Amino acid sequence: MCAKILEINLFGSCFVRSMEPGAFEITGKKHRAIFALLATAPHGCRSRTFLQETLWGIACYDTGRQSLRRALSDIKAAMGPYYGQLITTNNSEVTLDLGKVAFAGRPGQGTFLEGLDVPSPDFVDWCNGIRAKPDQIYSLFRPASSSLPHPPVPTVTVLPLLSIENNPELTVLGDWFAEEICRSLSRTNLLSVISHLSSRSFAGKRIDIEVIRDKLGVDYCVSGNIHRLDDQVITDVDFLDARSGRILWTRRFSGKFRDFISDAGQGLANIVQAVGSAIASDTLNYVRGRPINEISDHRLLLAGVSLMHRTTLRDFAKSRELLDEAVRRSPRSAEVLAWRGKWHVLSVVNGWSSDPAQDTKNAVGSTAKALDIDPENAFCLTIDGFAHNNLLRRLDVASDRYGMALEENPNEALSWLLRGTLFAFQDSGQQAVHAAEKARQLSPIDPFKYFFDSLCATAYLSAGDYGQALKFADMSLERNQRHLSTLRAKITALHFLDRTEEAKEVAAELRRRQPGFSVKDYMRAHPAADYNLGQNVARALSAVGF
């Protein structure tokens, strides 16, 4: 772990000083404000335009640019040789190395940036936004959070919807609508989402995609407008490629004005899922036929994860190549290692491994390395539990990992999903259904929705609700007809619904997909073999000739 050089206090009286007593201290208000803005930014990076406009306003671009340049020069003079160790700049961005920053104090020990009175409306609005919801920067105070590299993933911003009539009530609704989309998208580790507070600086303005791209450094942008027609509120939402300005899709949602917030749930969910699907599709189109050394970092991981959950062995093999390259480029990214660990788990579970013992070793090895780097990472804990549950049949270890993951992040959808599967394997049907349904609610953009639906089917099998189990198995197979465990779940549901002929048809498909499969193999390898669920599956498989 790299040594801490800079100490910053954000709650109470703001100070920015060297960890080495007496080496340097930044005292100017706007100079400290620059550090506060950088310290709270994704990966410590802000565009020069954002810093200029937030601290010096937008009235004169040249004046702001000169003022920022002068402020950085003052900071460099005050810090001396430490400046180059902490701050990097180019023509468009300023970056603070968060791995070398220690955050003093704790949230709640004072007002955010108390007494740092910078006379700029945009800075005041930014401060007030964090003061209203300080939990959005609590992650800075976790010991591991500031020192670890983040996986390179696409970055997206969600702008407040513009009220066409400049109606104050609709402006509030448009802001709320955008914040909910932003909150949902931020639940996935496959995207980097610009905070709503940063995006809010564009509220009430006509969109200029070049300015947004340069100021926020994003790959994609959600924008739109909101207006009223009689008693209906209508939102028109666009999803744009920020690099090219190309509109990838448009969506409309409408609802009665008085019930808009309570009725907007499904519309929000549809928009969030459409964002995820579009980014995954755009990424796969980008990598198709492109040499791996020409694939940009932020597309590499998402492409690998997306292909991992496609239906063909060719795509699955290509995903391994992309994930290996992602690990090579980001060897200290815990989540990239965890994704590669999941690949090895799926290679065994899906029956595609040529050496299950070696893939099991590789899976556990990858997740162990991930946890060595970041032992509190909810996603890494979850994948380690997945490996122990599905490959080693260590349900006790898996249960501990899922519990720890949800303590770290109660909104980790995959943790809820796999915990639900563990409950199902242990015949705790109602707990399994509760956890699986919560996972589906929390899962915003996954390009592998079939995986969630498949494990929901398993949860309902455990609960004895074979109608619901069949429904989710069918939904999963519509997206991935090759998933073996879903085929087994469907056979089981049909068997206990006394739909024998249909079960035999699915069994024929399973034989085609997995020649040589037998009930004996299932009972030897499956984690649920010693429980009622596993025995029910075995009975259903036996009834159709396995």
370 is written with which tokens? Answer: 């991930």
| Closest listed residue to residue 494, CA positions, set 482, 509, 480 | 509
Q: At 533, is the pLDDT very low, low, confident or very high (cuts 50, 70, 90)?
A: very high
Instruction: Tell me the per-residue pLDDT of 402-441, one tens digit each, with 9 for 90 and over.
Output: 999 998 888 888 999 999 999 999 999 999 999 999 988 7
Q: At 78, is the pLDDT very low, low, confident or very high (cuts 50, 70, 90)?
A: very high
Q: What are phi and psi of 223, to 5 degrees?
A: -145, 175
Dihedral sign for Cα 239, 242, 247, 249, please: negative
Q: What are phi and psi of 494, to 5 degrees?
A: -65, -40
Number of Cβ within 10 Å of residue 1's Cβ equals 8
pLDDT at 161 over 50: yes
pLDDT for 31 equals 96
124-138 average pLDDT score? 80
DSSP-assigned beta bridge partners for residue 101: 6
Assessment of whether the complete model's pTM goes beyond 0.85: no
Q: With contact defined as beta carbons under 8 Å apart, do 460 and 475 qualify?
A: no
Q: At 259, is the pLDDT very low, low, confident or very high (cuts 50, 70, 90)?
A: confident
DSSP 158-222: EPPPEETT--HHHHHHHHHHHHHHHHHHTT-TT-EE--HHHHGGGTTS---HHHHHHHH--SEEE
Which of 269-278, 312-321, 459-468 is least confident? 269-278
Within 8 A by CB and 6+ apart from 289, the residues are none
Q: At 103, is the pLDDT very low, low, confident or very high (cuts 50, 70, 90)?
A: confident
Mark residue 217 as left, alpha or beta (left: phi above 0; alpha: psi -120 to 50; beta: remaining): left
Percent of the chain at pLDDT above 70? 93
What domains, with CATH codes, occur in the chain? 6-141 (no CATH), 155-285 (3.40.50.10070), 329-543 (1.25.40.10)
Q: With contact defined as beta carbons under 8 Å apart, do 233 and 170 qualify?
A: yes
pLDDT at 146 over 50: no
pLDDT for 349 equals 86
pLDDT at 371 over 50: yes
Distance CA 131, CA 178 (A): 19
Extract the runs of DSSP E, i.e. beta strands, from 393-544: none
pLDDT at 207 over 80: no
pLDDT at 221 over 50: yes
297-318 average pLDDT score? 88
Q: With contact defined as beta carbons under 8 Å apart, do 424 and 434 qualify?
A: no
Distance CA 116, CA 372 (A): 39
pLDDT at 134 over 80: no
Within 8 A by CB and 6+ apart from 515, the residues are none
Mark residue 254 as left, alpha or beta (left: phi above 0; alpha: psi -120 to 50; beta: remaining): beta
